[in-house]
C-alpha cells in the first residue's frame, strides 16, 4: 500500500502575502471550509503575532473547521509562540509552526548570528512550543542554500527537542530538482532520528521549479507537501497544490496517495481567484482556462477520436465538465463538424469541404469564431435564428446607477433597464432581463491593451451554463460597452435550446 502524503495548504498564510490579495476573516473562513471539503490535511491559517486580524482569523478558522489540523506560524521567539498557542485555543487539532533561517546568508546577514546559536534557538523554540501543543513543526528557512552537514545537525537536534514535522524550504526557489531531491535524501540517510518526524517540502517558484522540486522531494522521502491553491504566494509564488496532486495521481510510480477530492479542485481554484482578485493565467496547468482547450486541427481530431490522445487528465477528474474545442484558423474539419453538429447542422462530403474552405478564409481574419459566423457560413438567415445583437447601451448616475440596453434577437427588438452597483453591473443585469439564460459569470477580466486615459480595454468573460463554459471577448475604449459586448459574445455561443427569451 502506498504511503500517505500530507497536504499542507498555506494559501491563507503564505499565499495571502501577495500584494493586494488580503482577505478579511469571513473570507478566510469561506476558503478554509472549501479547503476542508477539498480534503487538505493541514491548513496554515495565519501568523498570529503579525496583526490582530491574523490572530482573529486563526482563532475563527479554528472554530469553523473540524477535520484539518489548524497550523499557526511563529518565529523562534517565545512571545510569537505564546500568541500562536492562544490563537489555536479552539482548534480541534492544533499545530505550531516555528523555525529560523539556516543558510549562511540568513545566519550571517539576516540574523547576524552563529551556527551554534541558531541550533540553540531552534531547539529552544521547539521545546517551548511543546508546552502548548503536541504537534510542532520546525521550518529550516532557506534550507535550499544551507550547508548539508549543518542542516542535518539542526534537524537532528530539533527532532530530539520534540519536532513532529521538519520543513525543508527552498525559500528563494533556487534549487534544481536533483539538488532539492538530494537534500531530502541526505536527511533520510544522515539524520539518525529522522524516522521520528515527517519531512515536509516548501518550495517557491522563482525559477519555475516549485512543482518539480516538490515532486523530487516526495520521490526521495518527503511525506508532507506545503502548497497553495493556484500556486499563489510571495514573489513568483509557491508550489501549486493542484499540480502536485495531479502529477502524483498521474504517476503510479510515485508510491504515495493523498486524500484530496480532485473533483473539487477547479471550483476551489475559482473561489480563491475570485476572493483574492487574482486571475488565474490562461495557460496555468490543471486550472487555467486553456488547460483543456484545443485549437490545433491535429489535436482536435485526436481528442474527438479518443480523449487520451492529447489529454493525460480527464477534465472531470478536476471538476471541469469537458474539454473545449476552440475554432481558429488552425482548426480542422473534425472540429468544424463537431461545432456544426452541436448547432443541429449536419454536413458531409462536398458540402462540408466547401464550408470548411470558407471557414478558413474567415478564421484567418477573425480571432474568435462564434455561432453567428457558423450560421452565416452554412447559409442560415439571422432572422431565423436566436442570434443576439447588441444595440444601444446607455447608463447614468443620479444617486443611483441605471442602465438601459437594446437587443435584437433574431428579428425581434427588445429593451430593458436595470440598476446596479456600477455601470457594468447595471448593463449586464439589463441584458439578463431580456435574455434569461440563468448563467453564472465565473470569470470577468479587464486588461489594458494601450496606455493612457484613452486605453483600449480588452474584456474576457467566462460564463457557465449547465456546467459548461462559454467564453466572450471584446475590446473597446469604453469599458462598459466592451463588457456588454463580451457578455453578449459569450451568450451567443450557448446553444439556442439552453436559454429562453422574455
Q: Residues at the annotated binding site?
A: 14, 202, 204, 238
Q: Residues at the annotated binding site for Mn(2+)?
A: 14, 202, 204, 238
- Torsional class of 339: left (φ above 0), alpha (ψ -120 to 50), beta (otherwise): alpha
Average pLDDT over residues 138-162: 98
Average pLDDT over residues 438-452: 80
C-alpha 93/C-alpha 70 separation (Å) is 6
* 124 and 241 together in one domain: yes
Kindly indicate the confidence band of residue 66, based on its pLDDT and cuts at 50, 70 and 90.
very high
C-alpha 315/C-alpha 292 separation (Å) is 7
The pLDDT > 90 percentage for the chain reads: 67
**pLDDT value of residue 306:** 87
**pLDDT value of residue 226:** 98
Domain holding 108, by residue range, is 3-276
Number of domains observed in the structure of the chain: 3
Question: What confidence tens digit (pLDDT) does each residue in 389-416 have?
Answer: 899 999 988 878 999 999 988 778 999 9
* 306 and 330 together in one domain: yes
* 423 and 308 together in one domain: no
Q: Which of 310, 343, 378 is the last residue of a domain?
A: 378
CATH of the domain at 270: 3.20.20.70
* 301 and 320 together in one domain: yes
- Coil, helix or strand for 206? coil
C-alpha 24/C-alpha 425 separation (Å) is 24
Kindly indicate the confidence band of residue 435, based on its pLDDT and cuts at 50, 70 and 90.
confident
Average pLDDT over residues 256-279: 96
**Minimum mean pLDDT among 50-59, 85-94, 340-349: which range?**
340-349
Q: Assign 3-state DSSP to the chain and report helix, strand, coil percentages, each to 5.
A: 45, 25, 35
How high is the mean pLDDT of the chain?
91
- pTM for the model stands at 0.86
CATH of the domain at 482: 3.30.160.270
**pLDDT value of residue 371:** 74
Structural domain includes residue 288: no
C-alpha 23/C-alpha 264 separation (Å) is 21
Query: Which positions ≥6 away from 425 have C-beta within 8 Å?
Result: 401
Structural domain includes residue 287: no
Amino acid at each position: 500500500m502506498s504511503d500517505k502524503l500530507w497536504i499542507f495548504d498555506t494559501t491563507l498564510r503564505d499565499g495571502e502575502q501577495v500584494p493586494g490579495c488580503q482577505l478579511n476573516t469571513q473570507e478566510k473562513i469561506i476558503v478554509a471550509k472549501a479547503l476542508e471539503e477539498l480534503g487538505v490535511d493541514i491548513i496554515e491559517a495565519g501568523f498570529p503575532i503579525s496583526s490582530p486580524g491574523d490572530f482573529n482569523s486563526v482563532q475563527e478558522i479554528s472554530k469553523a473547521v473540524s477535520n484539518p489540523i489548524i497550523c499557526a506560524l511563529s518565529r523562534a521567539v517565545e512571545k510569537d509562540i505564546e500568541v500562536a498557542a492562544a490563537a489555536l485555543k479552539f482548534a480541534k487539532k492544533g499545530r505550531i509552526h516555528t523555525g529560523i533561517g539556516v543558510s549562511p546568508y540568513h545566519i550571517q546577514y539576516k540574523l547576524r548570528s552563529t551556527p551554534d546559536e541558531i541550533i540553540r534557538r531552534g531547539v529552544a523554540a521547539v521545546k517551548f512550543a511543546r508546552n502548548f501543543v503536541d504537534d510542532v513543526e520546525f521550518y529550516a528557512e532557506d534550507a535550499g542554500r544551507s550547508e548539508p552537514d549543518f542542516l542535518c545537525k539542526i534537524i537532528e537536534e530539533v527532532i530530539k527537542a520534540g519536532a513532529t514535522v521538519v520543513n525543508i524550504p527552498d525559500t528563494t526557489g533556487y534549487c534544481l530538482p536533483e539538488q532539492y531531491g538530494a537534500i531530502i535524501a541526505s536527511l533520510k540517510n544522515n539524520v539518525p532520528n529522522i524516522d521520528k518526524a515527517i519531512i515536509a517540502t516548501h518550495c517557491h517558484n522563482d525559477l519555475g521549479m516549485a512543482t518539480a522540486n516538490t515532486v523530487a522531494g516526495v520521490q526521495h522521502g518527503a511525506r508532507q507537501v506545503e502548497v497553495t491553491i493556484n500556486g499563489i504566494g510571495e514573489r513568483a509564488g509557491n508550489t501549486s497544490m493542484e499540480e502536485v496532486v495531479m502529477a502524483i495521481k498521474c504517476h503510479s510510480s510515485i508510491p504515495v496517495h493523498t486524500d484530496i477530492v480532485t473533483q473539487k479542485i477547479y471550483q476551489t481554484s475559482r473561489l480563491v481567484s475570485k476572493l483574492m482578485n487574482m486571475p488565474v493565467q490562461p495557460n496555468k496547468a490543471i486550472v487555467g482556462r486553456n488547460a483543456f482547450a484545443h485549437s490545433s486541427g491535429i489535436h482536435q481530431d485526436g481528442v474527438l477520436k479518443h480523449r487520451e490522445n492529447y489529454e493525460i487528465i480527464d477534465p472531470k477528474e478536476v471538476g471541469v465538465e469537458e474539454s473545449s474545442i476552440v475554432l481558429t484558423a488552425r482548426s480542422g474539419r473534425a472540429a468544424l463538424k463537431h461545432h456544426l453538429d452541436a448547432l443541429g447542422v449536419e454536413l458531409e462530403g462536398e458540402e462540408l469541404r466547401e464550408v470548411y474552405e470558407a471557414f478558413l478564409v474567415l478564421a484567418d481574419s477573425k480571432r474568435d469564431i462564434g455561432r453567428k459566423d457558423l450560421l452565416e457560413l452554412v447559409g442560415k438567415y439571422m432572422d431565423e435564428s436566436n442570434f443576439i445583437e447588441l444595440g444601444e447601451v446607455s447608463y447614468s448616475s443620479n444617486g443611483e446607477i441605471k442602465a438601459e440596453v437594446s437587443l435584437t434577437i433574431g428579428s425581434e427588438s427588445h429593451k430593458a433597464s436595470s440598476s446596479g452597483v456600477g455601470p457594468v453591473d447595471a448593463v449586464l443585469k439589463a441584458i439578463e432581463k431580456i435574455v434569461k439564460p440563468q448563467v453564472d459569470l465565473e470569470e470577468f477580466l479587464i486588461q489594458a491593451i494601450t496606455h493612457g486615459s484613452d486605453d483600449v480595454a480588452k474584456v474576457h468573460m467566462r460564463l457557465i451554463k449547465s456546467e459548461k463554459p462559454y467564453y466572450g471577448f471584446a475590446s473597446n475604449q469604453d469599458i462598459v460597452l466592451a463588457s456588454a459586448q463580451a457578455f453578449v459574445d459569450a451568450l451567443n455561443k450557448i446553444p439556442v435550446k439552453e436559454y429562453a427569451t422574455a
